[in-house]
Chain A
Amino acid sequence: MVKMENCRRRLGPGVEFFCEQFEAPAGAQMALWGPSGCGKTTMLNLISGLLRPDEGLISVDGVETPKLSEGQLDRFRGERFGFIFQTFNLLAPFSALQNVMLGMRFSDTAPSSEWKPRATALLQRVGLERRLHSKPATMSVGERQRVAIARALANKQKIVVADEPTGSLDPKNAAAVMDLLLEMCREEKVTLLLVTHAHELAECLETCFDCSALIREVSS
């Protein structure tokens, strides 16, 4: 599903990201573990096409993403990837329902008539059937992360990338959100790449990729 080979990206003077070999099969639930600043998020950004590599191969679902134009990459990202962030990144002016529908609006995966029923069903699935029309500012942090999970799966994406998804939650909410995320990814047969610096969280997933040696110094 996701493949990375000899992938290089310059990050600043004398510093670069380099990944010799990475592979995540379809349907895998994989933790990208490492300490803060080790390049985990850079790796996620490269995989999802938010960053382009200076050289090397990145292949997602059989498509070499660095070869796509900017517009093609935007569309590809909208269709294949779902994002979950530590700070939720919901859009403040819009309700929970609208935030999930926005995930569908920018891709061609479903006709517009299906947006609302699918968004409603997903929000019901994450236990927010009574909060459909609530704005993010009026919701708890746990509820906001549930909306983010629903949004990440709105397009029946093949890959969900989650960057420290429980980092802003208390232990009880974190466990509940994590359980929900793993369960839903299994149900939807989605590949999950989860970035974390916490060992205990990484151990919840089937496999773990050690990111601690991805950043290296080079001669400028």
Chain B
Amino acid sequence: MSLWRIAWGYLWNRKLTTSLTVLSVALSVGLIYSVLTLREETRKRFKEEGQFFDVVVGAKGSPLQLTLSALYFMDVPTGNIKLSDYEAIKKHEDVAAAYPICMGDTYHGYRMVGTIPELFDYTWTRASTGEERKPFKLAQGSVFKKSMEAVLGSAVARTEGLKLGDTFIGAHGYIELPPGMAVEDHSKFPYTVAGIMAPSGTPNDRAIFCTMDSVWEVHGQHEEAESQQEGERQKEASSMVTAVLVSLESPALSFEFVEYVNDTFNAMATRPIEQIAKLYDSILATAKSVLLAVGYLVVAISAISILIGLYLSIIQRKRDLAIMRALGASAYEIVGSVLIEAFLVTALGIVAGWLIGNLVAWTVGLYLQYRYGLTIGIFGMLTTEEIAAFSTVGLVGFVAGIVPAWQAYRTDVARDLAEP
């Protein structure tokens, strides 16, 4: 009969109270853990996406908007740049590979991206480890060979139920309209599914790739139906691209290359990794701080509930403590058993909170995957921040046990035994 067994016996004897206290600790830990996990996992995923290309070139405007629209398909593009600018960039001695992308249409909210077939051969190598990844890997079919053929991201094929050989029609613009609302579609230009990509856990899963000709052709037809002035503008658009994704011979050249593009062309170059870091340091860091503050507030409330739960339990069993003293238990053994109770409640709360946190992260991850193509890893190794958070909760639980333990230490054995 160790003190642990005695402490556990008392916790088990009041299962409901113990469960509720554990639950309150678990909820606070779960909140903190899910905030930290989601923040860390999204940061990792965004950072990884940002690393696939060293530089993104697009129309002048917001560098963050350019990064989000060209790599994450999340925002409206900043505009277009000349096709000739892309060709010049591609020929630059520092450029290992450059891929043009054209955007303008969507299919049920999925971004349609005109590009060149070579993009599907692109392999990204992590400089530090030499690890290789193919973010545009095909799972079925082939790359588009001609105009109006499309390669679907894995999530598009799955959610829309599209298979190889199926046809679909895109709609003009970037905004996902509610069902039933009229959209300007291109019904005379159906796309045929030529290939389906392997799941990559990136925004590519939620994109549709086709030739640049397809995008131009659809909008060229559009021109016929509109005024002469509008037609001229569309014709001009056919010689433009929305952005260029650039991989350099070395990431270290990116600073110099960005300067070169900004000075030479009527365009803007940016380092995506830098934009993502800024985004995290500004908006998301604030959001994380607010959520963490809420989490720690819940921890404080849980600590009070541990304190109240244990204190009431000590009051209720003063006679039991007196009996143990009469049996020869020292005051320190009594204090030890109460502190062990506090520790067990907190430890169980932390474990349950860790499970709840992973469950929340997994659920939110499903939404992020559906909405943005981001995958969230769960049950991963604990980060330093998470270990620090768990330690804080453990310490708070221990401190909450001190007051009831002190109360137990001050047991007046003869008086408590005499009480009915």
Report which of B331, B417, B420 forms a contact with A50, defined as CB distance below 8 A. Answer: B417
Per-position binary interface string of chain A over residues 82-106, scored 1 when its CB falls under 8 Å from any chain B CB and 0 otherwise: 0101010101111000100111011
Task: Count chain B residues whose beta carbon lies closer than 8 angstroms to a beta carbon of A.
Answer: 24
Known contacts A94-B9, A105-B1, A75 near B417 by CB under 8 Å: no
* B333, CB-defined interface residue at 8 Å: yes
Q: Which of B321-358 contact A (CB under 8 A)?
A: 323-333
Report which of A71, A81, A87, A98 forms a contact with B1, defined as CB distance below 8 A. Answer: A98
Q: Is the CB of B319 within 8 A of A89?
A: yes
* A6, CB-defined interface residue at 8 Å: no
- Give the Cβ gap from A181 to chain B, nearest Cβ, in Å: 18
On chain B, the residues within 8 Å of A107 by CB distance are 327-328
Known: A50-B326, A83-B327, A94-B9; 13 extra A-B contacts, CB below 8 A, are A48-B326, A50-B413, A50-B414, A74-B331, A78-B329, A79-B328, A89-B417, A91-B324, A92-B320, A102-B324, A102-B327, A103-B327, A105-B1
On chain B, the residues within 8 Å of A45 by CB distance are 414
- Give the Cβ gap from A93 to chain B, nearest Cβ, in Å: 4
* A115, CB-defined interface residue at 8 Å: yes
Q: Is the CB of B320 within 8 A of A91?
A: yes
**Please, how many angstroms separate the alpha-carbon atoms of A50 and B414 in the complex?**
6
**Would you give 29 A-B contacts (Cβ < 8 Å), ordered by A?**
A48-B326, A50-B417, A70-B330, A70-B331, A71-B331, A74-B330, A78-B327, A83-B323, A83-B327, A87-B420, A89-B319, A89-B326, A89-B417, A91-B9, A91-B323, A93-B9, A93-B13, A94-B9, A102-B1, A102-B6, A102-B324, A102-B327, A105-B1, A105-B327, A106-B324, A106-B328, A106-B329, A107-B328, A151-B327
* B10, CB-defined interface residue at 8 Å: yes
On chain A, the residues within 8 Å of B319 by CB distance are 89
* B127, CB-defined interface residue at 8 Å: no
**Please, how many angstroms separate the alpha-carbon atoms of A75 and B326 in the complex?**
10
* B418, CB-defined interface residue at 8 Å: yes
Q: Which of B299-331 contact A (CB under 8 A)?
A: 319-320, 323-331
- Give the Cβ gap from B10 to chain A, nearest Cβ, in Å: 6
Q: Is the CB of A74 within 8 A of B417?
A: no
**Please, how many angstroms separate the alpha-carbon atoms of A125 and B313 in the complex?**
34
Total cross-chain contacts (CB, 8 A): 68
- Give the Cβ gap from B95 to chain A, nearest Cβ, in Å: 74
On chain B, the residues within 8 Å of A102 by CB distance are 1, 6, 324, 327
On chain A, the residues within 8 Å of B168 by CB distance are none
* B367, CB-defined interface residue at 8 Å: no
**Please, how many angstroms separate the alpha-carbon atoms of A151 and B326 in the complex?**
12
* A77, CB-defined interface residue at 8 Å: yes
On chain A, the residues within 8 Å of B417 by CB distance are 50, 85, 89
**Please, how many angstroms separate the alpha-carbon atoms of A74 and B324 in the complex?**
10
On chain B, the residues within 8 Å of A94 by CB distance are 9
Report which of A41, A51, A98, A106 forms a contact with B327, defined as CB distance below 8 A. Answer: A106
Q: Is the CB of A41 within 8 A of B328?
A: no
On chain A, the residues within 8 Å of B329 by CB distance are 74, 78, 106
Q: Is the CB of B333 within 8 A of A41?
A: no
Interface residues on A, range: 20 to 34
- Give the Cβ gap from A51 to chain B, nearest Cβ, in Å: 5
Known contacts A83-B327, A93-B13, A106 near B418 by CB under 8 Å: no
* B12, CB-defined interface residue at 8 Å: yes
Query: Which B residue sits closest to A101, measured CB to CB?
Result: B1
Report which of B6, B328, B333, B418 forms a contact with A77, defined as CB distance below 8 A. Answer: B328
- Give the Cβ gap from A197 to chain B, nearest Cβ, in Å: 15
Per-position binary interface string of chain B over residues 386-420, scored 1 when its CB falls under 8 Å from any chain A CB and 0 otherwise: 00000000000000000000000000011001101
- Give the Cβ gap from A185 to chain B, nearest Cβ, in Å: 18
- Give the Cβ gap from A1 to chain B, nearest Cβ, in Å: 19
Query: Which B residue sits closest to A103, measured CB to CB?
Result: B327
Report which of A78, A87, A115 forms a contact with B328, defined as CB distance below 8 A. Answer: A78
**Please, how many angstroms separate the alpha-carbon atoms of A51 and B325 in the complex?**
12
**Please, how many angstroms separate the alpha-carbon atoms of A102 and B333 in the complex?**
13
Q: Is the CB of B413 within 8 A of A75?
A: no
On chain A, the residues within 8 Å of B418 by CB distance are 41
**Please, how many angstroms separate the alpha-carbon atoms of A102 and B7 in the complex?**
13
On chain B, the residues within 8 Å of A83 by CB distance are 323, 326-327
**Please, how many angstroms separate the alpha-carbon atoms of A42 and B418 in the complex?**
10
**Please, how many angstroms separate the alpha-carbon atoms of A106 and B1 in the complex?**
9
**Please, how many angstroms separate the alpha-carbon atoms of A115 and B2 in the complex?**
12
**Please, how many angstroms separate the alpha-carbon atoms of A144 and B328 in the complex?**
20
- Give the Cβ gap from B418 to chain A, nearest Cβ, in Å: 7
